[in-house]
Amino acid sequence: MKMRWWEDCVVYQIYPRSFQDSNGDGIGDLRGILKRLDYLSMLGIDAIWISPIFISPMADYGYDISDYRSIDPIYGTLDDVDLLLKEAHARNIKIIFDMVLNHTSIEHPWFIESRKSKTNDKSEFYIWSDTIPNNWQGAFGGKAWTFDEQRGQYYMHSFLKEQPDLNWRKGEVVDAVFKMLAFWLDRGIDGFRLDVINCIVKDETFRNNPKVVGSRPRPYDMQRHIFDRNRPETHARLRRMRKLLDSYPDKMMVGEIMVENPGEPELASSYLGRDGDELHLAFDFSLTQTPFHAQPWKRNAKRWSEAVGINRVPTWVLNNHDTTRLISRLGGNIAKAKLAALFLLTQRGAIFLYYGEEIGLPNSKVPKSRLEDPLGKRYWPFHPGRDPERGPMIWSTSKGYGFSDGKSWLPFANHADKYAVENQMTDKNSMLSCYRELISLRKGDITLKKGITTYLDTKNTHVMVYIRKYENQERLVLLNFSSRQQTIEESSLSGNWELKYSIQRMVEDSQDSGIFQLQPWQGCIYIKNK
Ligand code: GLC
Ligand code: CA
């Protein structure tokens, strides 16, 4: 069967403010992305997901949209989008937009109208109540209900009060949203990343969320979110959305599924639809929270892979704009990060990279005076917010690091010179070279892209071992998650294995005894010879 492009794609997420500035205002933009398309093409990625670029008052940096059909002037124009599409497509790169459909900005014309009275045209476009009906909380602090003087009622918001939630129980809202999606599909956009898509429908009778025992810094985390999200009615909406996308050739949607810690892969996979008729792809964030040890890593990879099953497609993600960068979680250890990259790019399904991951870019240090993220402003220093993982890309060692001629909106990572793309390009041992080689290896190997994965239970618990199988082809992946040399001795692994790739120099390059030696943090890929 023909493979659809998202079944084995490598997607590169761009946080547009921080990727490349083209006009010296210190904020990345669409012209900047255009300028770096050749770089992305060299890296070998298949698609770009751009975090929201629509008109927004930027209370949550674009995740509060006031006009879904226009580009915020800070990022560019509709013409820039058209040009980007043309240039990306010429390089075989797809463009995915980030759609925030759970809520709009408080400045969206729908909300401006809705708040005017209880009887206007858009009066039911949002979720209104005479009193605060329940214990729901906003994810960024405070109650989920804010009183609006003008209308004399409370409106519901899952996030900031500047982000009122749309009423997805109202048919007209659904129609309006779908029309807007069609507008972009018609324009040539290849798909959508759907923000917090499991939150769109709320309990019809506004029941209280049950409380969680124990104490957590955010009141939001003190309850189980069973009534303000994950309502069963969501699935019918997603099935309809899927029909819309499938009425075009080759469009894809991937959903962000908001979960309670430490991750709920079964919940995420439920949004793929029992018959695979909802989201094409859904995110599971377990590995962004998993300690970097072989056993928990294997357990969570296996659990997600099983939750998705072999007839649907898993996504794999280690970094994004909402969570500490993996390299920083790993204390800056490049050897570990390369091991993680080898893991990532040898999984079945769709791989998601976050800009800077490929150069080992760590979190920026953001002093209080430079905080931008509303979450950070509210909870600092408890929670530093998400600015640190949104630092500017480092392209060169010149002033502004090739990112901008002006003052960048967020601080650069410390010792930024170390990460410059310009230097890593020519260094065979760089992180960038590692990503590039792994992506290219994956591209040329259907077994790595499509093969079924069997995660093995090994005697040695410091290593993770899995086999990828496609038709009569087999690949063996060995990962040493420890700082010591490890031996893997498994009779089931005997056979004629030939080394295909290693992130560190190998002692021997072919094995048939079922015994393998791995250096500290070494990872390698073997091919089975017949
Ligand atoms: C998602 C986004 C996050 C945003 C939130 C509200 O979780 O990834 O960045 O703040 O939704 O839209
Ligand atoms: Ca700019």
Q: Do 527 and 497 contact (CB within 8 A), yes or no?
A: yes
Tokens 């929670």 correspond to 383
For residue 64, give the ligand nearest its CA.
1
Which ranges of 57-193 would DSSP assign to H, the alpha helix?
78-90, 109-114, 171-187
Choose one of 166, 322, 372, 383 to mutate for the ligand 1 pocket test, by most ligand atoms within 8 angstroms of C-beta: 322
Q: Token pair of 242, please?
A: 């899927």
Domain parsing of the chain, residue ranges: 5-104+171-365+428-442, 452-529
Which of the following is catalytic: 256, 278, 284, 389?
Answer: 256
pLDDT score at 277: 97
Question: Residue 511: pLDDT band by 50, 70, 90 thresholds?
Answer: confident
**pLDDT band at residue 328 using 50, 70 and 90 as cut-offs:** very high
- pLDDT over 60 at 1, yes or no: no
28 CA from centroid of ligand 1 (Å): 19
Would you call 256 a catalytic residue per the annotation? yes
Residue 417: active-site member: no
- Strand 497-502 with 252-255, pairing: unpaired
Tokens of 346: 């040898």
Both tokens of 367, joined, read: 């002093």
What's the rounded Cα separation, in Å, for the pair 89 and 85?
6
Other Cβ atoms less than 10 A from the Cβ of 478: the count is 25
> Rounded to an integer, what distance in angstroms lies between the CA atom of residue 164 and that of residue 348?
38
pLDDT band at 382 (very low <50, low <70, confident <90, very high): confident
**Mean pLDDT score across all residues of the chain:** 96
Provide the pLDDT confidence category of residue 219 given band limits of 50, 70 and 90. Answer: confident
Query: Confidence band (pLDDT; 50, 70, 90) for 506?
Result: low
What's the pLDDT score for residue 508?
A: 60
Give pLDDT, residue 260.
Answer: 85
Tell me the CATH architecture of domain 5-104+171-365+428-442. Alpha-Beta Barrel (3.20)
> What is the whole-number distance in angstroms between the Cα of residue 182 and the centre of ligand 2?
28
Ligand 1 center to residue 483 CA distance, Å? 36
pLDDT tens, residue by residue, 77-135: 999 999 999 999 999 999 999 999 999 999 999 999 999 999 999 999 999 999 999 99
pTM tops 0.85: yes
Tens digits of residue pLDDT in 360-381? 999 999 999 999 999 999 988 8
Region 476-484: what's the mean pLDDT?
A: 97
Q: Is the dihedral angle over the CA atoms 232, 234, 238, 239 positive or is it negative?
A: positive
Rounded Cα–Cα distance for residues 22 and 193 (Å): 25
What is the reported pLDDT for 318? 98
Q: Residue whose CA is closest, atom 12 of ligand 1?
A: 63
pLDDT of residue 190 exceeding 90, the answer is yes
CA 527 to chain centre: 30
In 3D, which of 302, 328, 330 has the Cα closest to residue 316?
Answer: 302
Antiparallel, parallel or unpaired: β 47-50 and 10-14: parallel
Q: What is the pLDDT of residue 507?
A: 57
> 433: exposed, middle or buried (C-beta count within 10 Å: 0-12, 13-18, 19+)?
middle
**pLDDT at residue 315 in the model:** 98
Pairwise CA distance, residues 475 & 473, whole Å:
7
CATH superfamily of 452-529: Golgi alpha-mannosidase II (2.60.40.1180)
Q: State whether residue 352 is helix, strand or coil.
A: strand
pLDDT digits 0-9 by tens, 167-178: 999 999 999 999
pLDDT tens-digit profile of 36-90?
999 999 999 999 999 999 999 999 999 999 999 999 999 999 999 999 999 999 9
pLDDT at 317: 98
Distance of CA 396 from the midpoint of ligand 1 (Å) = 30
Give the closest residue (by CA) to ligand 1 atom 2. Answer: 195
Is the fold of 5-104+171-365+428-442 the same as that of 452-529? no
Residue of 8, 195, 373, 387 with catalytic role: 195
pLDDT band, residue 383 (cuts 50/70/90) = confident
The predicted structure's pLDDT at residue 3: 77
Assign 3-state DSSP to the chain and report helix, strand, coil percentages, each to 5: 30, 20, 50
Distance between CA atoms of residues 480 and 460, nearest Å: 10
160 lines ligand 1 (CB under 6 A): no
pLDDT digits (tens, 9 = 90+) for 431-449: 999 999 999 999 999 999 9
Report which DSSP code applies to 400: G
Ligand nearest, relative to CA of residue 49:
1
Residue 209, CB-side half-sphere exposure with 13 Å CA sphere = 24
Segment holding 14, helix H or strand E: strand 10-14
- pLDDT, residue 261, reads 73
- List the one residue out of 329, 391, 383 whose CA is nearest residue 354: 391
